[in-house]
Chains A and B, each alone.
Chain A
Amino acid sequence: MTMLWPGATVGTLSKLELSWLTFTAVLWLIATLYKIRMSDDRPQALFWLFWSVSCAGNLLLIAAQDVLGFYIGFSMMSLGAYALVIHSGKPAARRAGRVYLQLAILGEMALLASLLMASHAGNGSLLLSEVQQSDIPPIAALLLLLGLGLKAGFWPLHGWLPLAHPAAPAPASAVLSGAMIKAGILGLWKIMPESAISGQSALLIMTLAMISAMYGVLAGLMQHEVKRILAYSSVSQVSYLLFLLALAWLMPEHRTLIATVLTIYTVHHGLIKGSLFIAADFFSVRSQSLVMNRANQFMLLVAALAIAGLPITSGMAAKSALKSLLEGEPLALWYTLISVGSVATSLIIIKVLLTFRARHATAAIQPTDPVKATLWWMLSLSAIALPWLWPDMREPLVSSLATDKLWAASWPIVLGGLIYWAWPARWTRALSGAEKIGLCIPSLSLKLKQAINRLATSPTDFSFSDKKLRKFERRWNRLWQGSTVNVSALLLIAVMLLTGALMYA
């Protein structure tokens, strides 16, 4: 007998979940401490309430081993994050919040429908492990992909991401991008049955992931605000996680191996993207000390390039682990595509760095907050420290230290740099339409809101007029008090009815 909801089971069964839980908790902790040191004049109590709900939900969904627990955690996280998005209270934040909430609710409903169908297909079982063994109908698989994909934010489900990330305070964007969008990936990993995705569909999803990876970069290159660029970079990076998922559906026999790679990639991206988002706040001021500034800038450089797979960082470990899966003839095409993707990633990372530099040059000079600095450094140093502290990540890093592998990791960065340097301005103009492929989610969202407001201005209901009722009532009353004719007519009818009834009986 359980005490909580039916079927409640909580725990971490695999290394993947344990690592996932650890990095999520660490990221939330650092972001929380960082946010405490930030000052703003908005109402705090509400923010922290939703922050805690969101954090609790995020941790619950990782630890949950049952369908309901996962869904409870997922909803708490999703809905709680709404308050983080709109915290600043500015019109842009409210707009972002509206899009976020609409898509989050849509995603939740898709998820709920698919979980219901999945649980039904698993003979009413509430355990995720059993649901994953069941045969779910294709529509359920599609809804699951849609519901969780809306959280993960790969193209074309990324609508909320580039709006919400810039609107939220920096530590909130850090957890949104570092931890929360990963929840969609984890959900797909834990729930989607292998049998639901055929080889064909897996290839389709892999293609989608690569399109999304490129789209994120192209759209990001068109942006000028650092958090927006970072948000698009997340769209691009989360696509690699989707790619890994699809790979696992394509080759179920390698699932354990892919699990390790997925973990490495997620932890790496979660921590480093968190650090970059926090940097958006940390670098908004300059310290008086030149040495300090130089050190900070160097660390930022390393952390940012780690995303692009800089050698001897966690990024290189993640990239080479991903590529090691694709070695061999049948997947050679994908290997090439991933290499092209690395070049693209370098492009956007260079854009990020240059934007940071431009901002930093004009930033106000202020004494640095040592707590903020420590927190940011801790997070950023993970790019270098993590591979040495964590055996799972050390292995791919060490194996890629050979010269040819180092070259394989470096040339995309170099090439990216060259392309960026030689980038003709008219390409930018030509590409400026790229963001529009975002399916115009914001304007659709506004239209929905307007339609609802219009509905509320014209309330009507199915009903008959009660004035008629009153007239009817009066007439009925008059019938009884009326003249002799009325009474005698009624008496006559009564007698006739009675005789009829008697004759019939």
Chain B
Amino acid sequence: MTPDSLWHWTSLLPLLIILSSLVPGLLIFATPEGAARRRTALNLGGVLLKLCLVALMLLGVNQGLQFRFALPFLPAAPLVLQGDALSLQFVSLSSVLWLATTIYAIGYLENSPLRSRFFGYFSLCVSATVGIALAGNLITFLLFYELLTLATFPLVVHRGTPEALRAGRIYLAYTLAGGTVLLMGVALLHAMTGTSDFIPGGYVIPDAQLSTAGLKWAFFLMIAGLGVKAALFPFHVWLPRAMVAPAPVSALLHAVAVVKAGAFGIIRVVYDVFGVETSQSLGLTVPLMAMAAFTILYGSVQALRQTDIKRRLAFSTVSQVSYITLGVAMAGPVAAVGAIVHLVHQGLMKVTLFFCAGIFAETLGIHNIKEMNGLGKRMPLTMAAFTIGALGMIGVPPIAGFISKWYLGIGALDAGYPVILAVLIGSSLLNALYFLPLIYRGWFAAPAIGGWPRDQYPDTRFETHWMLLIPALLTAVLSLLAGILAGSLVSPLGWTELVVNREFGL
């Protein structure tokens, strides 16, 4: 690559997308605590700039332009940022949800201490996520993956309570161990095949010189390392604990940043490093599928056993994120559509649910499922958003979750694993069992006689702070639209089909 092209706008764009949240983040650290207006301007300015840049890149990729930024980094492994169709799927998701979450967080943390620290790390976290999405090879991916761990830790322990610190310690223990295992896997693979850019179809081609056992080990180590963040059983333990974090952090953690980074990594490793054919010929996909299927059912059963709203949602994430892994492991194009589109759909629905859970806790002090009785009358809009998210998780049409489930189901049959259909249906039933009671309580049960645990905004114009309400409604509407308009080209499904066509060379 000539220096000329390094400074061409197409190669600078990926870098700019990362900088558009990194720079405001660093500036926010330097913002005094009292300067709320300046901080908000930095936050929102960064978000809007990023959205514009992402839109530009979306247009470009749709036209067939290449976006690649490379710097020499390690021997035979440069630092590469590139915008391909798959990475854009993730970048768009994180940018849109970053907008929603930022607005939500501003409302949520109003008048609470240490906001500069919070928003600084918040922006770093998004930068790292976008870096993961745009990473063009494994080394770059690893770099941002570790950065993400470090950037999210302060957010998890933000409240500083003993409980938060404990959760933070467990979070660090798991993710750092996972990162180390991933590092070993990447190093092993690097030693065997070198590190080239992610390419559709993968670059690992087994031949006589490569040890099959070595490849299998590398795959196993990488999946185990990524599985920690993707909350695959038995590496999921940190996730339900981490829900002690403030609601916007939970929302970000569960919908975009951490668990999705893991799932996205698994997609990259299976599709763009090993390639579907190699993974299958090495016999690696079936164990992965079994692991994902088990996690799906395990997470649902555990969710059923929780009485705390956020804990229930957390176990639901354990289950739902594994849909992505499951779809990837089935190694067929239709299942791939289901998996990659679920990356977006789950994000939209889960962020809605966490926003709503945060609103319940913030406005009325509701943490337990039992306290939700009659909530629909007090806050109909929030409850409506929550209902959309929960029904979507069950897979009730026409909400987005249904589309993912449909493609995963067809994909399972296509790939010749009808037993997966039973897993999907079983998981839907379990989802119904643990989400429908919440909806029932909210809409149909009579409110508790003693009133709400703690009513924060009894006389506001809306049912709660408008900055909390708007993002929840926005994401709820998006998850509804993503389902109803799934057949159009601008929907996540439309874009996913583009991604999968490129991945599978269709």
Number of B interface residues in the complex (CB < 8 A): 49
**Is A8 engaged at the interface, CB distance under 8 Å to the other chain?**
yes
- Cβ contact within 8 Å between A5 and B429: no
**Bound form: Cα–Cα A105–B396 in Å:** 10
- Cβ contact within 8 Å between B410 and A119: yes
Tell me the chain A residues, 1-21 only, with Cβ under 8 Å from chain B.
1-8
Known: A5-B487, A8-B487, A79-B396. A109 touches B240 (CB 8 A): no
**Is B234 engaged at the interface, CB distance under 8 Å to the other chain?**
yes
Q: Which residues of B contact A3 (CB under 8 A)?
A: 485, 487-488
**Is A458 engaged at the interface, CB distance under 8 Å to the other chain?**
yes
**Is A434 engaged at the interface, CB distance under 8 Å to the other chain?**
no
Q: Shortest beta-carbon distance, B227 to chain A, in Å?
A: 14
Chain A minimum-CB-distance residue to B403: A5
**Is B153 engaged at the interface, CB distance under 8 Å to the other chain?**
no
**Is A113 engaged at the interface, CB distance under 8 Å to the other chain?**
yes
Chain A minimum-CB-distance residue to B306: A459
Q: Shortest beta-carbon distance, B165 to chain A, in Å?
A: 11
Tell me the chain B residues, 404-428 only, with Cβ under 8 Å from chain A.
405-406, 409-410, 413-414, 418, 421, 425, 428
Tell me the chain B residues, 451-506 only, with Cβ under 8 Å from chain A.
483-489, 493
Chain A minimum-CB-distance residue to B301: A455
- Cβ contact within 8 Å between B307 and A469: no
Q: Shortest beta-carbon distance, B417 to chain A, in Å?
A: 12
**Bound form: Cα–Cα A119–B443 in Å:** 35
**Is B170 engaged at the interface, CB distance under 8 Å to the other chain?**
yes
Tell me the chain B residues, 371-430 only, with Cβ under 8 Å from chain A.
376-377, 391, 395-398, 402-403, 405-406, 409-410, 413-414, 418, 421, 425, 428-429
Q: Shortest beta-carbon distance, A124 to chain B, in Å?
A: 7
Q: Which residues of A contact B376 (CB under 8 A)?
A: 46
Known: A116-B409, A117-B421. A462 touches B429 (CB 8 A): no
**Bound form: Cα–Cα A67–B425 in Å:** 17
Q: Which residue from A79, A89, A120, A463 sits with its C-beta under 8 Å from B237?
A: A463
- Cβ contact within 8 Å between B396 and A5: no
Known: A109-B428, A456-B306. A2 touches B166 (CB 8 A): no
- Cβ contact within 8 Å between A75 and B396: yes
- Cβ contact within 8 Å between B432 and A456: no
Chain B minimum-CB-distance residue to A112: B425
Tell me the chain A residues, 220-252 only, with Cβ under 8 Å from chain B.
none
Q: Shortest beta-carbon distance, B301 to chain A, in Å?
A: 8
**Bound form: Cα–Cα A113–B418 in Å:** 10
Q: Shortest beta-carbon distance, A241 to chain B, in Å?
A: 26
Q: Shortest beta-carbon distance, A453 to chain B, in Å?
A: 9
- Cβ contact within 8 Å between B169 and A466: yes
- Cβ contact within 8 Å between A1 and B307: no
**Is A404 engaged at the interface, CB distance under 8 Å to the other chain?**
no
Known: A117-B421, A452-B433. A6 touches B169 (CB 8 A): no
Chain A minimum-CB-distance residue to B497: A6
Chain B minimum-CB-distance residue to A462: B234
Q: Shortest beta-carbon distance, B18 to chain A, in Å?
A: 34
Q: Which residues of A contact B402 (CB under 8 A)?
A: 72
Q: Which residues of A contact B421 (CB under 8 A)?
A: 113, 116-117
Q: Which residues of B contact A89 (CB under 8 A)?
A: 444
**Is A148 engaged at the interface, CB distance under 8 Å to the other chain?**
no
Known: A3-B488, A5-B484, A112-B409. A459 touches B307 (CB 8 A): yes
Q: Which residues of A contact B398 (CB under 8 A)?
A: 5, 72
**Is A167 engaged at the interface, CB distance under 8 Å to the other chain?**
no
User: A67-94 interface mask toward B, CB cutoff 8 Å, 1 = contact, 0 = none?
Assistant: 0100110011001000100100100000
- Cβ contact within 8 Å between B436 and A101: yes
Chain B minimum-CB-distance residue to A464: B237
- Cβ contact within 8 Å between A105 and B429: yes
**Bound form: Cα–Cα A109–B304 in Å:** 19
Q: Shortest beta-carbon distance, A259 to chain B, in Å?
A: 28
- Cβ contact within 8 Å between A1 and B489: yes
- Cβ contact within 8 Å between B409 and A456: no
**Bound form: Cα–Cα A7–B485 in Å:** 11
Q: Which residues of A contact B414 (CB under 8 A)?
A: 120, 124
User: A122-145 interface mask toward B, CB cutoff 8 Å, 1 = contact, 0 = none?
Assistant: 001000000000000000000000
- Cβ contact within 8 Å between B436 and A46: no
Chain A minimum-CB-distance residue to B436: A101
- Cβ contact within 8 Å between B305 and A459: yes
**Is A470 engaged at the interface, CB distance under 8 Å to the other chain?**
yes
Q: Which residues of A contact B173 (CB under 8 A)?
A: 466, 469
Known: A3-B487, A116-B421. A455 touches B304 (CB 8 A): yes
Q: Which residues of A contact B486 (CB under 8 A)?
A: 4-6
Known: A8-B487, A113-B425, A452-B304. A72 touches B436 (CB 8 A): no
Q: Which residues of B contact A105 (CB under 8 A)?
A: 429, 432, 436
Chain A minimum-CB-distance residue to B307: A456
Tell me the chain B residues, 305-352 only, with Cβ under 8 Å from chain A.
305-307, 311, 334
Chain B minimum-CB-distance residue to A94: B444
Q: Shortest beta-carbon distance, A44 to chain B, in Å?
A: 12
**Is B271 engaged at the interface, CB distance under 8 Å to the other chain?**
no
Q: Shortest beta-carbon distance, A160 to chain B, in Å?
A: 15
Known: A1-B487, A109-B425. A46 touches B443 (CB 8 A): yes
**Is B302 engaged at the interface, CB distance under 8 Å to the other chain?**
yes
Q: Which residues of A contact B493 (CB under 8 A)?
A: 6
**Is B233 engaged at the interface, CB distance under 8 Å to the other chain?**
yes
Tell me the chain A residues, 446-486 only, with Cβ under 8 Å from chain B.
452, 455-464, 466, 469-470
Chain A minimum-CB-distance residue to B437: A452
Chain B minimum-CB-distance residue to A7: B487
Q: Shortest beta-carbon distance, B433 to chain A, in Å?
A: 6
Q: Shortest beta-carbon distance, A77 to chain B, in Å?
A: 11
**Bound form: Cα–Cα A456–B301 in Å:** 10
Q: Shortest beta-carbon distance, A471 to chain B, in Å?
A: 12
- Cβ contact within 8 Å between A2 and B425: no
Chain B minimum-CB-distance residue to A50: B443
Q: Shortest beta-carbon distance, A9 to chain B, in Å?
A: 11
**Bound form: Cα–Cα A139–B491 in Å:** 34
Tell me the chain A residues, 52-66 only, with Cβ under 8 Å from chain B.
none
- Cβ contact within 8 Å between A116 and B410: yes
User: B212-234 interface mask toward A, CB cutoff 8 Å, 1 = contact, 0 = none?
Assistant: 00000000000000000000011
Q: Which residues of A contact B301 (CB under 8 A)?
A: 455
**Bound form: Cα–Cα A68–B237 in Å:** 37
Q: Shortest beta-carbon distance, A135 to chain B, in Å?
A: 14
- Cβ contact within 8 Å between A116 and B484: no
- Cβ contact within 8 Å between B487 and A462: no
**Bound form: Cα–Cα A68–B407 in Å:** 11
Q: Shortest beta-carbon distance, B113 to chain A, in Å?
A: 27
Q: Shortest beta-carbon distance, B155 to chain A, in Å?
A: 19
Q: Which residues of B contact A120 (CB under 8 A)?
A: 410, 413-414
With contacts A462-B233, A464-B237, A469-B173 known, what are 19 further pairs, Cβ within 8 A?
A1-B489, A4-B488, A5-B403, A5-B486, A6-B487, A6-B493, A7-B487, A46-B376, A109-B428, A109-B429, A112-B425, A113-B425, A117-B418, A455-B304, A456-B305, A456-B307, A459-B311, A461-B302, A470-B169
Interchain Cβ contacts under 8 Å between A and B, 8 examples: A5-B397, A5-B398, A5-B403, A112-B405, A120-B410, A124-B334, A461-B302, A469-B173
Give chain B's interface residues, CB within 8 Å of chain A.
166, 169-170, 173, 233-234, 237, 240, 301-302, 304-307, 311, 334, 376-377, 391, 395-398, 402-403, 405-406, 409-410, 413-414, 418, 421, 425, 428-429, 432-433, 436, 443-444, 483-489, 493
Closest 8 CB pairs of A and B: A120-B413, A116-B409, A2-B487, A72-B397, A463-B237, A6-B487, A459-B305, A72-B398
